Amino acid sequence: MALTILAITFFGFLVMGVPVAFAIALSSLCTILYEGLPTGVLFQQMMSGMNVFSFLAIPFFVFNGELMLHGGIADKIVAAAKNAVGHIRGGLGLSNVVSCTLFGGVAGSPVADVSAMGSVMIPMMKREGYHADYAVNVTTHAALVGALMPTSHNMIIYALAAGGAASIGSLILAGIVPALILTVCNLAAAYFVAVRRGYPALARPAADVLWRSVAAAAPGLLVIIIILGGIITGVFTATESASIAVLYSIVLTFFIYRTMKWATFMHACARAAKTTGVILLLIGASTMFQYLMGLYEVPDLAGEFMSGLSDRPWVIFLWINIILFLLGTFMDMGSTILICTPIFLPIAQKYGMDATQFGMVMLINCALGLNTPPVGTTQFVGCAIGGISVGQVMRSIWPFYGALLICLLLVTYVPAFSMALPTLLMKG
């Protein structure tokens, strides 16, 4: 009965429009009160969930993303991408994909990526005769690559939700190939739609213009190399790499690009503090929820249920993907990771999937949810910038959805796509 109360109150609060973190906390409180347990248990779990040293990487990665977002990096990346691929048919769409991918690598947040790149690229594409639905779909789907990039704080959340089964370093390396696959699939989808609709190509720039724009964008992209190089060589940990990335971004935006002003810096600090607070609140509330799920043996019940469906790994993985996708459509990324990882990771491991590979499957499913109503955070941001309704965007979303699904299936059923680099560089 207690498990029923936990589930009903949680989904009930979500339907009522209560923010996810508060819905998790309130449903946990209702269950504890029904059981007659001391409420102090919940607060102990909440504090223990947030008081983890590795979580220091989260505010640093969030702060780094805000510095990149407000430090003028986006314009330089857009210029480089336009000059590199703009001369192909549908060049602005392809430039958008490349720009969002590169900026996602330095910001590590799909929502920040859409906000920064969308505000530049969507109006530009509309002025050049591209339809608003195409501009929004290209931007929002390309921005999802940021969830798989080295600066993604969602990887850190997954590593801690997995209880040490996957290291942050291995997850950072595991995301590189899936990010490249997703980028190629997004480029193919953008080109396919551009050809069908007859979108134009831009004039090919002179070689010196191209190289100058690439050189201007290169210092901003160097943060990815710093993080990866430090972790691979063992010079610093993932948490230390996040702090070094912040120092580098401060030097870059203040002294090299000279685009950061004091007022903008304080705004970035405030935004980073707010985002970090929301994430830590969600982590603390989810720790309460995880405690109750463990108390009522939810992972074991879920495992028994999945075993009853089939004993074939490919079928189990398919069901896990379907469930994660459905949950991701009405829960934000962090809460989906924190709640679902303790349930589905043991099942995936039982059928032969490594915890690092499962992390990539989880992140891609959550990325799908970011672009799917009723929550669909990135999609709502993109639609607001493009001045178009979600319904109009959904009618032409399928080629871009197909790109995401291809990437998801490859990562799910071909372990080498996510496991080759961690195996080679972390264990070899």
Question: 412-428, pLDDT tens digit by residue?
Answer: 999 999 999 998 876 54
Do you know the residue count of the chain?
Answer: 428
When pLDDT is cut at 50, 70 and 90, the band that residue 54 belongs to is low
Percent residues over pLDDT 90 in the chain: 24
Percent residues over pLDDT 70 in the chain: 97
Q: Is residue 52 predicted with pLDDT exceeding 70?
A: no
Alpha-carbon distance 53 to 334, whole Å? 18
Residue 374: cis peptide before it, omega within 30 degrees of 0:
yes
The closest alpha carbon to 25, from 36, 39, 38, belongs to 39
* Tokens matching residue 113: 């990526």
Residues 257, 216: contact at Cβ < 8 Å? no
Q: What is the pLDDT of residue 355?
A: 95
pTM metric for this prediction: 0.85
Residues 171, 356: contact at Cβ < 8 Å? yes
Alpha-carbon distance 311 to 228, whole Å? 38
Question: 346-396, pLDDT tens digit by residue?
Answer: 999 999 999 999 999 999 998 888 888 776 778 888 898 888 888 888 888
